[in-house]
Structure 1
Amino acid sequence: MKALIRENKGFIVFLVLLGIFRTAFADWNPIPSASMHPNLLEGDVVFVNRVAYDLKVPLTDVSITRLGEPQRGDIVTFSSPKDGTRLIKRIAALPGDKVEMRGERLVINGTPAEYAVIGNATETIASVGDLQALTLNESNGKASYSIQLLPQIVAHRDFGPVTVPADSYLMLGDNRDNSADSRVIGFVPRKLLIGRAERILVSADIQGNWMPRTERIGMSLRSE
């Protein structure tokens, strides 16, 4: 064993440094579910900037210093406050915001988000089949992005008003009627944020023919 380690010392050091880099500065996150349709698809792998908000001690949630502030509309990866599972959602509300949802319409500090119809799509849900989906543009303050609704299913379309606690965030999936987000797991403390998802690194149709989706490679995930 010692001889094996000695012969591969350089490679082992590389792996250790790669691990430190991935846990401290940059990361990648595969998309396993439909909760961020239409913007993220199963088979996308996104680049995550781990120092967008905080510089942390590697392998911990301990922040050394704050480097930036999360904004409404940011897509972020974080550890679920419910069970520690890594999730990816969009920040819908910031600390101190008074937020509610009425019939899918998001209301922040008394101001309803603005919506514009983009079109229709088809969403396939296991044990249910193909459903008609409605794609909308949601403008939430300075952030503007696409969301998807599934009018045919029972979903959590109303909540609040609630006030987001200090150093916490309200997260929503873009696929509003098919996402276990803050409506299920609660507010997400800043210390559980892993980083901001910025671009799609690679993409493949893992639910179909596994062919690369070259048109998605390099696509920006920043809200307009």
Structure 2
Amino acid sequence: MTQPLRLFRHPLWLEWRGLIVFLIVMIAFRSAIADWNQVPTGSMKPTILDGDRVVVNKLAYRLRFPLTNWELLRWSAPARGDIITFYSPLDSELLIKRVIGIPGDQIALANNALIVNGKTSEYSRIDNEVITSLDRFQKARHRFFYEHIGQSKHPVMVQPGTATAYNSFDAITVPPGKFLVLGDNRDNSKDSRVFGLVSADQVMGRAFAVAFSMNYDNYYLPRGDRFFQSL
């Protein structure tokens, strides 16, 4: 009997093969098909809270060989408004942000107001239920709006009177294969204003739901109202 066949008859393999196969399938699934990622910061508030566990569709834009960044097939690209996970160009940290500029767009920011292709985005009053999970301190210190880009809208929060180098930037044109990303928590987000544009091959997938959420500020108790919430 050859050595490989003898290995598959080994008592340890026979006892543990089910678990081993399961682990291999799960690792491949999470690497190339779908994953769930913990959000440790509040840079995407009020849409995503620190303590949320988000579900990421890794087949949203392309198919990769499991455990690698080897692209087998691409059928789509991130659109404005998509929430994507990607590896930071600065330090390879896995981040989650919103796509604001796609290839060919001209994007500027003036006192936290977006200007897309020469047109200032509209801002409207936000629904109260969007910010119910925020504490009173955050609600008192920030203002909340819906930011309209084209036909889509999403919530953002800004801190009035906060003058930083990131409140404004001159118009830049997004080149092919690149994306400009920002956090919805505009005054507390490490995004394209810090590390520049994101390459298409750095994008891991599109976040589309909150699986469950733990409140870091309240003894890690679950936030029941955020379970299975779509983004």
Q: Would you call these one fold, judging by a TM-score over 0.5?
A: yes
Give 5+ residue unaligned stretches, structure 1: none
Q: Does 1:51 align with 2:59?
A: yes
Contact 1:76 1:195 in 2 (8 A): yes
| Residue type at the aligned position of 2:155 | S
> What SS is found at the alignment partner of 2:23?
helix
Which of the numbers 142, 147, 157 marks the counterpart of 1:133?
A: 142
Percent identity between the two aligned chains: 39
- Residue in structure 1 matched with residue 153 of structure 2 by the alignment: 144
Report the Cα distance in structure 2 between the residues aligned to 1:3 and 1:216, rounded to whole angstroms. 46
| Residue type at the aligned position of 2:75 | L
- Residue in structure 2 matched with residue 111 of structure 1 by the alignment: 119
Contact 1:123 1:133 in 2 (8 A): no
Q: Does 1:160 align with 2:178?
A: no
After TM superposition, give the deviation of residue 6 of structure 1 in Å: 4.5
After TM superposition, give the deviation of residue 209 of structure 1 in Å: 3.0
Compare the two structures and name the one with the higher strand fraction. 1
Which of the numbers 95, 99, 108 marks the counterpart of 1:91?
A: 99
Report the Cα distance in structure 1 between the residues aligned to 2:158 and 2:217, rounded to whole angstroms. 21
1:75-132 superposed Cα distances (whole Å, 9 cap, x missing partner): 010011111100000000101101100110101110111002337865869xxxx970
| Residue type at the aligned position of 2:29 | F
Q: Against the structure 1 CA distance between its residues 123 and 65, is the aligned structure 2 distance closer, same or farther, given a 3 Å change threshold? A: farther
| Residue type at the aligned position of 1:107 | I
1:184-206 superposed Cα distances (whole Å, 9 cap, x missing partner): 01000000000000011111212
Give 5+ residue unaligned stretches, structure 2: 1-9
TM-score (norm 2): 0.87
> What SS is found at the alignment partner of 1:8?
helix
TM-score (norm 1): 0.90
Report the Cα distance in structure 1 between the residues aligned to 2:192 and 2:70, rounded to whole angstroms. 23
- Residue in structure 2 matched with residue 181 of structure 1 by the alignment: 191
Q: Does 1:42 align with 2:54?
A: no
Which of the numbers 18, 22, 36 marks the counterpart of 1:14?
A: 22
After TM superposition, give the deviation of residue 141 of structure 1 in Å: 1.2
1:19-39 superposed Cα distances (whole Å, 9 cap, x missing partner): 001101000111100100101
Compare the two structures and name the one with the higher helix fraction. 2
Q: Against the structure 1 CA distance between its residues 123 and 192, is the aligned structure 2 distance closer, same or farther, given a 3 Å change threshold? A: farther
> What SS is found at the alignment partner of 2:215?
coil
After TM superposition, give the deviation of residue 154 of structure 1 in Å: 4.0
- Residue in structure 1 matched with residue 74 of structure 2 by the alignment: 66
Q: Does 1:190 align with 2:180?
A: no
Report the Cα distance in structure 2 between the residues aligned to 1:180 and 1:27, rounded to whole angstroms. 23
Q: Does 1:212 align with 2:219?
A: no
Report the Cα distance in structure 2 between the residues aligned to 1:5 and 1:85, rounded to whole angstroms. 36
Over aligned residues, Cα RMSD in angstroms? 2.0
Which structure 1 residue ranges, 4+ long, deviate > 2 Å from structure 2?
A: 2-7, 117-125, 151-155
Report the Cα distance in structure 1 between the residues aligned to 2:137 and 2:13, rounded to whole angstroms. 49
| Residue type at the aligned position of 2:23 | L
State how many pairs are aligned.
Answer: 216
Q: Does 1:169 align with 2:199?
A: no
